[in-house]
């Protein structure tokens, strides 16, 4: 139990470091057999007009305000363990993970546009930093993280995609997949990212390259929800130098609760906990 608890804070933070693209250094990828790809039965296939395909894709993105989803995660590198919990998303405001082992909450991760708070309860550690400092000033919004984790394309630093964003991105045919790709504006001279879609305009893969590090996010088990398609399986993989972090996130979308059914839960740091720096998380993981 103690060994598991030492891993939780580092792993959960790395999910968001991936989302912030500093995590091209530290993210996750899991067992592909855990989820199945399900294309919708009735969809409009991609046309020769890529602008039309883009607009068709964004038209499916419903505007939810709050959602709470049961989640299970499986880390396979650098260590191996599984746990479950719930994630609560408040559009443009916050993301909260509450992770449990044997029914007990062992870790909480709370991210807002201004801050990152991670609390690990067995050893009484916590991380509390400004989001800008944590991400080295990288232009990632809360909406970007929400969309990355649920299988929606995005442009770094802005809110959810809409049809009017077609002029901001580069669209290309992808003959190998019989689909198409979307490449947003380059984030730096040494990094970029792109999204690949199926012939049915369903997001399949996000690829990230930044400062010599690479990450891939695969989406599987796409399901229809009250607010459009979402990925039931998110398979993340990243490598930087000698560090590789791999995991699978599985969402139970059938048990998702939306908007008025979801209440925000405030997060506070308990007394007696020891603060650790996010820069020390790699050392904690390597020494587990």
Average pLDDT over residues 47-51: 76
Question: How far is the C-alpha of 79 from the C-alpha of 246, rounded, in Å?
Answer: 9
Q: Which fold has domain 2-279?
A: outer membrane lipoprotein receptor (LolB), chain A (2.50.20)
Write down the pLDDT at residue 230. Answer: 96
Question: How far is the C-alpha of 116 from the C-alpha of 94, rounded, in Å?
Answer: 10
| pLDDT tens per residue, range 81-122 | 778 899 999 999 999 999 887 788 888 889 898 888 888 887
Question: How far is the C-alpha of 239 from the C-alpha of 10, rounded, in Å?
Answer: 15
Which residues, other chains included, contact 279 with Cβ-Cβ below 8 Å and sequence gap of 6+?
A: none
Name the residue with higher pLDDT: 260 or 186. Answer: 260
> Could you give the dihedral angle defined by the CA atoms of residues 143, 33, 107 and 281, in that order, rounded to the nearest 10 degrees?
-80
Question: How far is the C-alpha of 94 from the C-alpha of 154, rounded, in Å?
Answer: 17
189: pLDDT confidence band, cut at 50, 70 and 90? low
Question: How far is the C-alpha of 134 from the C-alpha of 156, rounded, in Å?
Answer: 16
- Across 33-66, b (16+ Cβ under 10 Å) vs e yields ebbebeeeeeeeebeeebeebbbbbbebbeebeb
Name the residue with higher pLDDT: 175 or 191. Answer: 175
| Domain residue spans of the chain | 2-279
pLDDT mean across residues, the chain: 78
């Amino acid at each position: 139990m103690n060994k598991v608890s030492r891993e939780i804070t580092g792993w959960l933070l790395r999910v968001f470091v991936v989302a912030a693209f500093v995590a091209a250094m530290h993210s996750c990828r899991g067992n592909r057999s855990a989820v199945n790809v399900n294309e919708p039965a009735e969809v409009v296939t991609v046309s020769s007009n890529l602008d039309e395909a883009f607009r068709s894709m964004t038209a499916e993105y419903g505007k939810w305000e709050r959602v709470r989803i049961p989640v299970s995660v499986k880390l396979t590198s650098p260590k191996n363990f599984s746990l479950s919990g719930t994630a609560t998303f408040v559009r443009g405001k916050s993301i909260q993970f509450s992770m449990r082992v044997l029914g007990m909450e062992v870790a909480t991760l709370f991210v807002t546009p201004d801050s990152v708070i991670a609390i690990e309860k067995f050893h009484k550690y916590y991380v509390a930093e400004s989001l800008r400092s944590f991400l080295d000033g990288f232009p990632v919004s809360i909406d970007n993280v929400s969309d990355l984790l649920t299988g929606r394309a995005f442009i770094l630093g802005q809110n959810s995609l809409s049809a009017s964003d077609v002029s901001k991105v580069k669209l290309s045919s992808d003959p190998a997949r019989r689909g198409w790709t979307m490449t947003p504006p380059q984030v730096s001279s040494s990094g970029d990212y792109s999204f690949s879609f199926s012939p049915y305009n369903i997001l399949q893969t996000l690829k990230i390259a930044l400062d010599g590090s690479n990450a891939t996010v695969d989406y599987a088990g796409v399901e229809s929800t009250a607010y459009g398609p979402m990925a039931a399986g998110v398979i993340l993989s990243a490598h930087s130098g000698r560090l590789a972090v791999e995991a699978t996130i599985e969402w139970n979308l059938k048990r998702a609760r939306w908007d008025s059914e979801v209440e925000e839960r405030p997060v506070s740091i308990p007394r007696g906990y020891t603060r650790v720096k996010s820069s020390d998380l790699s050392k904690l993981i390597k020494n587990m």
